[in-house]
Amino acid sequence: MQTHDIRERFTQHFVRAGHTPVPSASLILDDPTLLFVNAGMVPFKPYFLGQQTPPFESGTATSIQKCVRTLDIEEVGVTTRHNTFFQMAGNFSFGQYFKEGAITHAWTLLTNSVDDGGLGLEPERLWVTVYLDDDEAADIWENKIGVPAERIQRMGMEDNYWSMGIPGPCGPCSEIYYDRGPEYGAEGGPAADDNRYMEIWNLVFMEFERGPGDKKGNFDLVGELPQKNIDTGLGIERVACILQGVDNVYETDLLRPVIDAAEAVTGAQYGQGQEADVRFRVIADHSRTGMMLILDGVTPSNEGRGYILRRLLRRIIRSARLLGAQGATLERLMNSIMDSMTPSFPEIADNRERIVRVAVAEERAFLKTLESGTELFDRVASGAKESGTTLVDGSRAFELHDTYGFPIDLTLEMAREAGLEVDMDAFNAEMEAQRARAKADNKAKKHGHVDESIYRGWVDEHPTEFFGYTDLTGESTVIGLVAGGESVTSVQAGEQVEVILDATPMYAESGGQMGDRGRLVAGDTIVEIEDVQKVGKRVSLHKGTVVSGGLELGNKVTAEVDHAWRHGARQAHSATHLIHAALRQVLGPTAVQAGSLNRPGYLRFDFNYTDQLTEAQLAEIAAITNEAVDNDWAVNTTETSLEKARAMGAMALFGENYGDNVRVVEIGGPFSMELCGGTHVSSSAQIGPVAVLGESSVGSGARRIEAYSGLDAFRFYSKEAALVSGVASSLKAKSDEIPDRIAALTERLKAAEKEISQLRQAQLTNRTAELVGNAEQIGSFELVAVTLDGVGAKDLRSLASDIRGRMNDRKAVIVLVGKDGSKVPFVVAATHQAVSEGVKSGDLVGTFGSYVGGRGGGKPDMAQGSGSDAAGIDTGIAAVRDTLASL
């Protein structure tokens, strides 16, 4: 049975049982505690935490949620059951059915025949576990379902009790296992061998609320939940493994084609050895996860989600290289996994080109990193051999891994080829320290979870009506006041407050458009509103300060939007739509929005694209945008169903979860049509001029355009015109002659700088004989140590090489220090005879650098560095003297 069929059977089974089908959320949610969605229940978390009431009429739901877990990336492929990306199928009950219902639903789907819509698993091969004291679940399994008592095992807190790791809902679990047969391990059920007995479904019975605790099980139960909930998770990939009769998830219909593609590009064969097989599995797993992350808008970078994606893609490249691949591989691997996954995720088809482009750009960058990393490793290896050791410093290996992105496996491979070993104890100590820092940061984020339960009553019963599309002033009633994190009945002058109104003309921040500013007025009471935010996607929080009078629950107020603020915000937001459309005309349909910010007069627009835009492309984008403004197109809005909006050709953004009814904003017919809930001008001419300021990189595969709109664009152009006029006056040239005049001046300046550099170098060279003659004797060594004002690192190195050449038949050490502005560059060189007597320039650079607030490195005969504290120069040179005297 194909994986896509398993998905369909699961969904239909629960739809027939009355559950509301819920599409998978994006892997990226607005949750400060998570990098990615890592469990099927995550999108339902507000309902389980009691912050919002579930919107499902049946009180039940079912979903197949895409998930990513990356805590143990290094373990991927070592075991054959764990994946970084997986599909978690689940059914959820919010106060409806409980243990018996969840158990019955799961059993019937697993054991019903294929003809009856089930999965057709043999009942006698299924085992279950329950929590230690959960007699109720054990009784249901034995006496209601008919599972023999000997196939029901009781497990402890670690295995069969669930919580989110923070105060909130918790409860016992019941897990379902499939016996794969004696060839996979010992008899005795999951307690004896969880390789033979594969876990396929976890049923969580949420019935308690837990208190704080620092680890699993180390917490108190503070009471029962107001209603008992069900959260289950069935592993689609594991079930596919069983139903397709393969040994592991890497041999299912989704991942085996990627391994086949990897065989083709590497020349190696899967199944020929454990080490190679692990690399094939890494390629397959990471190709799928990387593709799905790119699909949901992640681009490679050096932090957060982008860092995880970069790490995954680079592990693919590294694994392919170790298997024998010589050139680029990601394009073929990505196409293979997209072929496998598209039946379940049709949106992949519209994004193939973009996904491949992002992956290939990262591959090109990493192949360059491998080249530079190889050079760095060669220096490290040479240093180890010169010092007479066969051990590569683990901290240097970690620096290669962490700073330069050079994989430790590749370092180990190259060390073996060079006859060296890596100090893995030191490397692992550095890795553990890094993990501890990450864990502490993650823990801090978890405990920083924002508690929105205080707003639940309003979210459930009193969603804010927004009438600001048509009116900027209107009468409203105060239905909520929150001050200091608590609900209050009144506030007085000077207090900061969050005001909840039954209706408002003020736009709450969403879709990149900043919240409105304005005021609430009631008699002599004035509340200045500085920001409007949404909670639960239904209630607007008007954040402001009471500047006069006082405000009480039930007060009638006049809500007034700051007209100038709204006008500028509408201009910028509509200009964003025009720039998006212009981008797609110039760059093609794969230039997809990845984020935006609109505030009065200013916009920034992030989009997925791998290459830097040319000046000509930027000029064309600006021209198309301003032509659209000049066309004075009407801006039309339509409310319709999501399905009809997509049929109309309206663009939707990845990572956004839209409701059944959406708002389409159309400018110029087919020119621009997007799903958008923001506020806009009524015609494109009202935007005014749009000044494109430029574009920049915001990470690998992501670019950003910034622009001004309306009066801000006019002011920008006016300043630019004044600047050009001033430059023209200074150069005594016409404005159109400025580029040529500046180019000529630049060439003259370069020539003058070159001449000055040559003169400076000649002066320094002329001093070589003087410096050699003034060398001081330190024990058996001669030392040339001098400070040179206004000399940079390049000239210092050249001079040091010249002096060393003149003293090559002596045991000489040269220490040259420059003063170049606020920087203190320094170079240490040593002759061959000095090196043979134990002098290491790299060590002396480290000694000197510690006195001038700097660091450096290099080879025994030449090293350099830079510092920032010139006051320590004399002390640093004295320390070098002492070191030489001790040799």
Q: How do residues 62-90 score in pLDDT, each as one tens digit?
A: 999 999 988 767 778 777 767 899 999 99
Residue 184 has pLDDT above 50, yes or no: yes
- Domain-embedded: residue 742: no
How many domains are contained in the chain? 5
Q: Please compute the mean of the pLDDT values over residues 463-470 and round it to a whole number.
A: 94
Least confident of 441-450, 454-463, 796-805: 441-450
Residue 673, pLDDT score: 92
Q: Is residue 77 domain-shared with residue 188, that is, in the same domain?
A: yes
- Domain-embedded: residue 369: yes
Q: Is residue 715 domain-shared with residue 678, that is, in the same domain?
A: yes
The owner of tokens 């897990």 is 175
When pLDDT is cut at 50, 70 and 90, the band that residue 405 belongs to is low
Q: Is residue 667 domain-shared with residue 618, that is, in the same domain?
A: yes
Q: Is residue 422 domain-shared with residue 460, that is, in the same domain?
A: no
Whether the pTM exceeds 0.85: the reply is no
Q: Is residue 851 domain-shared with residue 829, that is, in the same domain?
A: yes
Q: Are 852 and 826 in contact (CB under 8 A)?
A: yes
- Domain CATH number, residue 134: 3.30.930.10
Q: Please compute the mean of the pLDDT values over residues 606-633 and round it to a whole number.
A: 93
- Domain CATH number, residue 829: 3.10.310.40
Q: Provide the CB-side half-sphere exposure for 209 (13 A, CA).
A: 11
Residue 450, pLDDT score: 44
Residue 412, pLDDT score: 81
Last residue in a domain, options 429, 447, 465: 447
Q: How do residues 349-379 score in pLDDT, each as one tens digit?
A: 988 998 998 999 889 888 877 777 777 788 8
Q: Is residue 140 domain-shared with residue 54, that is, in the same domain?
A: yes
Residue 449 has pLDDT above 50, yes or no: no
Binding residues, by number, are: 573, 577, 676, 680
Q: Is residue 317 domain-shared with residue 437, that is, in the same domain?
A: yes
Last residue in a domain, options 537, 561, 585: 561
Pick from 330, 379, 284, 304: nearest CA to 76: 284
Separation CA 126–CA 194 (nearest Å): 13
Last residue in a domain, options 228, 250, 272: 250
- Domain-embedded: residue 81: yes
- Domain-embedded: residue 667: yes
Binding residues for Zn(2+), by number, are: 573, 577, 676, 680
Residue 437, pLDDT score: 65
Q: How do residues 113-171 score in pLDDT, each as one tens digit?
A: 999 999 999 999 999 999 999 999 999 999 999 999 999 999 998 889 988 777 888 89
Residue 425 has pLDDT above 90, yes or no: no
- Domain-embedded: residue 750: no
Residue 441 has pLDDT above 70, yes or no: no
- Domain-embedded: residue 763: no
Q: Is residue 420 domain-shared with residue 471, that is, in the same domain?
A: no
Q: Which helix (H) or strand (E) holds 163?
A: strand 161-163
Residue 766, pLDDT score: 77
- Domain CATH number, residue 666: 3.30.980.10
When pLDDT is cut at 50, 70 and 90, the band that residue 874 belongs to is very high
Residue 520, pLDDT score: 97
Q: Which residue has the higher pLDDT, 400 or 688?
A: 688
When pLDDT is cut at 50, 70 and 90, the band that residue 446 belongs to is very low
When pLDDT is cut at 50, 70 and 90, the band that residue 664 belongs to is very high
The shares of helix, strand and coil residues in the chain, as percent rounded to the nearest 5, are 45, 25, 30
Q: Is residue 99 domain-shared with residue 220, that is, in the same domain?
A: yes
Q: Which helix (H) or strand (E) holds 787?
A: strand 781-789
What rounded mean pLDDT belongs to the chain? Answer: 89
Separation CA 336–CA 6 (nearest Å): 21
Residue 444, pLDDT score: 47
- Domain CATH number, residue 489: 2.40.30.130
When pLDDT is cut at 50, 70 and 90, the band that residue 415 belongs to is confident
Residue 798 has pLDDT above 90, yes or no: no
Residue-range definition of the domain harbouring residue 517: 453-561
Residue 840 has pLDDT above 90, yes or no: yes
Q: How do residues 506-563 score in pLDDT, each as one tens digit?
A: 999 988 899 999 999 999 999 999 999 998 888 999 999 999 999 999 999 999 999 9
Residue 326, pLDDT score: 87
Residue 17, pLDDT score: 95
Q: Is residue 655 domain-shared with residue 627, that is, in the same domain?
A: yes
Q: Is residue 422 domain-shared with residue 464, that is, in the same domain?
A: no
Q: Please compute the mean of the pLDDT values over residues 195-202 and round it to a whole number.
A: 93
Q: Is residue 125 domain-shared with residue 228, that is, in the same domain?
A: yes
When pLDDT is cut at 50, 70 and 90, the band that residue 404 belongs to is low
Query: Token pair of 267, please?
Result: 């020349």
Residue 655, pLDDT score: 47
- Cα distances (Å, whole numbers) of residue 283 to 327, 425, 789: 15, 27, 55
Q: Are 880 and 848 in contact (CB under 8 A)?
A: yes
Residue 81, pLDDT score: 65
Kindly provide the b/e burial profile for residues 86-102, where b requires at least 16 CB atoms within 10 angstroms of the residue's own CB: bbbbbbbbbebbbbebb
- Domain-embedded: residue 373: yes
Q: What is the dihedral of CA 749, 754, 757, 761, to 10 degrees?
A: -160
Separation CA 259–CA 627 (nearest Å): 50
- Domain-embedded: residue 746: no
Q: How do residues 764-780 score in pLDDT, each as one tens digit?
A: 777 888 889 889 999 99
Residue 700, pLDDT score: 66
Residue 74, pLDDT score: 73
